[in-house]
Structure 1
């Protein structure tokens, strides 16, 4: 390392040791990242309450301490306590999926309820300001701040830092699939450093996809204690009987390792999974996916209100785009097409026209050059696409008129991709589950690569959304859509 060169404060112990810095424990970066999140939340909360207390309290300087100072301090203390009690700072959820923001939102809601009850008990006339202004403002500041920290963490992980060393234990086939997934999604923070198999042998002379096989499944706990792995990932194998899994859990007690077991239902997760103790037996209960009820009603209201607001905000841009389409080639500004929606009902989708007039009739001539996955028809350099249309497709501006579909209820802001009737007719029973919910303007496919995805991966993502839908997942998808659109990855 050159003199004066800085070492990242979140660099792994291995990186710091190689660079000549002082070696630190493997969990040191986790502690510092947690401290950064706590500091960010504390500063954001303090900034909001001080700004509100200072602005409104200046009008009543004589009673500032009694009416504003105490409420400001009490609100900050209550919010931070709710975050701590609600485990919004638990290392296991920081930087991991929607659960981090779900706990953050739940903690802030709890603080709001307690604040309201306290105001009623104390008959305070100023409590409404802190309930309806302060706490929502705290959410508007803390959520983006946490997201920026997460982006930084994910960037570090893609560069090989801030990763938890994992020991995978199971059959060679299931372990190989697990290794492939961790390498494909490094932002999740797992790096498989070693493998244990049934007989202690791999498929490639002591290795499995480049990862050393260190021993048989019976020796997992010994390797964890000796080498300090942070995660033990147990994948399916006949060796793993209930007794052996229980013994492994006991043998890992006292170590820093977290034991995770991959269930048979790999694509079911989130709010549908519950662990219950029945007759002294731990059971994994899988609830039915929710297609109706209160949460779906809330989603419908959010869809329509969100579409109306976006249409008002984006109206000038849509007018400009429409004029550019008209000026670039002959034909109308909008293009309508039949698509299949919820429960197989067809509807007319609206888009800005990106192809020359009569493009659909020329599709048969280009069928031999199809680059789309599965049932999709796609060409990276489609000769039917106009110059303006290529730009609109890259940044998904051609899909803005679909906000009218969302407003009228045939589509949702978030959901599976709406298929063509001929695509839907070729669906098998499993793929047809995509039609159990409304199609979306964006979805998991939009933020995961769009047309670059294989057909199997696109179907898997859509089915995962159908099975594991939640309001928190919708929020995360909408947030990530902006970045996906700006980068234009997989859009053609």
Structure 2
């Protein structure tokens, strides 16, 4: 396939791609400079607020007297910016996802203030300690907030099809399709797959992605294009590591990113520790975290969170209960047997959103099932009541499950609670979902809810079980609020 063909597969006109990739973010150096400029503005604002907060109306007097001068302010701002740069806070690979970007900001700030404090102690300089305390308290949160807002703006732009970086995925046709499907779904990452490279002579992958050529010809294929990078996945180098080394040499003089998808997948970065030995890139993997997900920290989080939410939601529950009762006179609550941790059964509570005889009518609707795998779902289920349609849209029907969380049947975050009939059809791998308490929300919900395939739902649940950490629970709870308010995938 010709270079012109590569350029034409992107789904956007040439001028718009260049506007996104070149005009808005012309180069890596300029991207880093833009981020540094944003931080400099935030630091300047922080210095001003800290100075006013410490000296108030006497700011001019203290400045004129020499206690704190404009030179001091400028030096602190410049030193903070340099420390952020030296600590790698502007590495572009950190700016799309994960918490490493925020951790480096905190580490760089702590290092700077530690150095200043040590210097003042050794020189016995009582240099406006209140000013520095305020600067740290104000400046660090503002830097973190600025980066969070920048990430949200960028992610939203990418979801709308802008600032997308064209890439090629190289590997076996099946592996290429798996990676491409993930990147298409997670558009906020900013990667647009324009084609594939394989070791086999085929025209397209099973999913219909055009094959642009062979992996060993990657340099000729990307030369002269606006390609951002190449993702190498399983099957890209059947001849061994020497092939990868030669490919890296070919791309050495090109402004093209090389990304490798390792054979081990669904392992969080927190469980991975690189340990190169004698030129071998060994990676140490911590054990799965299913046992940690049952410890007291998570249980305390569940108890406090569910009790607080039930208290706050009680007025809404009362109004909804009244509406359900008025509509058809049936019971307000619906109880259904679900499978909990280690296969234990419990009664899962919901506000009734369907007609009273919904279970009896389910059999006649099985042929219209739109659910994935063992799940039963219908986008326009005729059994749903008028009140039920509203409360399901915003997941109000699931609020009584906070009582299940308080009792210990469920957790705030975890795999979806399954029916006994569904569990009976689990294979050995899927049964791993039962090693932790089922959750009121989870990765399955914030990643698409009913729009996910069964295989993807299971993959996300198993990822959660194996890679549990407390901060992940907090993040999922925050993302759940956005997913519920947007009612995406809910029916």
Classify the TM-score, shorter chain. Answer: 0.7 to 0.9
CA-to-aligned-CA distance 1:154-203 (integer Å, 9 cap, x gap): 3433444322232332233333443343333332222233433325x432
Q: Report the TM-score when normalising by structure 1.
A: 0.79
Q: CA shift at 1:394, angstroms? A: 0.5
Picking from 56, 64, 75, the partner of 1:58 is 56
Q: CA shift at 1:406, angstroms? A: 3.2
Q: CA shift at 1:420, angstroms? A: 1.9
Give the unaligned 5+ runs of structure 1.
Answer: 1-11
Matches within 5 A, 1:38-187: 38-48=36-46, 50-51=48-49, 53-55=51-53, 57-58=55-56, 80=81, 83-95=84-96, 97=97, 99=98, 101-105=99-103, 107-108=105-106, 111-112=109-110, 115=113, 122=121, 141-143=142-144, 145-187=146-188
Q: Name the CA shift for 1:62/1:140 in 2 (closer, same or farther; >3 Å).
A: closer
CA-to-aligned-CA distance 1:349-396 (integer Å, 9 cap, x gap): 333222233433443443343332221122222233221211111011
Give the unaligned 5+ runs of structure 2.
Answer: 1-11
Q: 2: distance between equivalents of 1:297 and 1:134?
A: 36
Q: 2: distance between equivalents of 1:138 and 1:61?
A: 19
What is residue 264 of structure 2 aligned with on the other side?
265
Picking from 215, 218, 225, the partner of 1:217 is 215
What is residue 286 of structure 2 aligned with on the other side?
287
What is residue 202 of structure 2 aligned with on the other side?
202
Moved more, 306-315 or 117-126: 117-126
Q: Report the TM-score when normalising by structure 2.
A: 0.79
Picking from 232, 235, 252, the partner of 1:234 is 232
Residues 167 and 193, structure 1, Cα contact 8 Å, conserved in 2 = yes
State the SS of the aligned residue for 1:239: coil
Q: 1: distance between equivalents of 2:312 and 2:329?
A: 28
Q: CA shift at 1:26, angstroms? A: 9.9
Q: CA shift at 1:331, angstroms? A: 3.6
State the SS of the aligned residue for 1:445: helix
Q: 2: distance between equivalents of 1:181 and 1:450?
A: 15
Q: Name the CA shift for 1:392/1:116 in 2 (closer, same or farther; >3 Å).
A: farther
Q: 1: distance between equivalents of 2:337 and 2:69?
A: 59
CA-to-aligned-CA distance 1:320-368 (integer Å, 9 cap, x gap): 3333333333244433333222222333333322223343344344334
Q: 2: distance between equivalents of 1:74 and 1:128?
A: 18
Q: CA shift at 1:13, angstroms? A: 11
CA-to-aligned-CA distance 1:79-114 (integer Å, 9 cap, x gap): 65664344333211212x3x2x34304532664587
Q: Name the CA shift for 1:248/1:90 in 2 (closer, same or farther; >3 Å).
A: same
Q: 2: distance between equivalents of 1:126 and 1:328?
A: 67
Residues 45 and 138, structure 1, Cα contact 8 Å, conserved in 2 = yes
What is residue 427 of structure 1 aligned with on the other side?
426
Q: CA shift at 1:138, angstroms? A: 5.2
State the SS of the aligned residue for 1:203: coil
Residues 105 and 143, structure 2, Cα contact 8 Å, conserved in 1 = no
Matches within 5 A, 1:446-485: 446-485=445-484
Q: Name the CA shift for 1:442/1:32 in 2 (closer, same or farther; >3 Å).
A: farther
Q: 2: distance between equivalents of 1:296 and 1:402?
A: 21
How many pairs align? Answer: 472
Q: Name the CA shift for 1:88/1:346 in 2 (closer, same or farther; >3 Å).
A: farther
What is residue 340 of structure 1 aligned with on the other side?
339
Q: 2: distance between equivalents of 1:402 and 1:339?
A: 12
Q: CA shift at 1:488, angstroms? A: 0.9
Residues 86 and 103, structure 1, Cα contact 8 Å, conserved in 2 = no
Q: Name the CA shift for 1:478/1:450 in 2 (closer, same or farther; >3 Å).
A: same
Matches within 5 A, 1:433-452: 433-452=432-451
Supply the RMSD in Å over aligned alpha carbons. Answer: 4.1
What is residue 5 of structure 2 aligned with on the other side?
none
Q: Name the CA shift for 1:282/1:118 in 2 (closer, same or farther; >3 Å).
A: same
State the SS of the aligned residue for 1:167: strand
Residues 155 and 187, structure 1, Cα contact 8 Å, conserved in 2 = yes
Residues 195 and 209, structure 2, Cα contact 8 Å, conserved in 1 = no
Q: Name the CA shift for 1:84/1:441 in 2 (closer, same or farther; >3 Å).
A: farther
Residues 340 and 419, structure 1, Cα contact 8 Å, conserved in 2 = yes
Q: 2: distance between equivalents of 1:427 and 1:213?
A: 39
